[in-house]
Amino acid sequence: MHTNRRPETPDGSSENPPVRSWLARRRRALLSSALRGAAYATGAGLVGLLFWAIQQQLQG
């Protein structure tokens, strides 16, 4: 009879490797999204600063 249980790891840890890899992928995706958001925010801030500087030059 076939069981769904996997053999225990030699170190006795009960952590499931697929769960660990899922967490690693999820963490990487979250970090990637955070970095992308920071890049967009920086770009938008620089464009806003550029337009503000141009406006100040035109008024002054």
In tens, the pLDDT along 5-53 reads 666 666 665 556 788 899 999 999 999 999 999 999 999 999 999 999 9
What pLDDT is stored for residue 29 in this prediction? 95
Question: Which residues have C-beta within 8 Å of that of residue 14, sequence separation ≥ 6?
Answer: 8
What pLDDT is stored for residue 14 in this prediction? 58
Question: Which residues have C-beta within 8 Å of that of residue 9, sequence separation ≥ 6?
Answer: 15
Here the tokens at position 10 are 């030699």
What pLDDT is stored for residue 10 in this prediction? 64
Beta strands in the chain (DSSP E): none
What pLDDT is stored for residue 11 in this prediction? 67
What pLDDT is stored for residue 39 in this prediction? 98
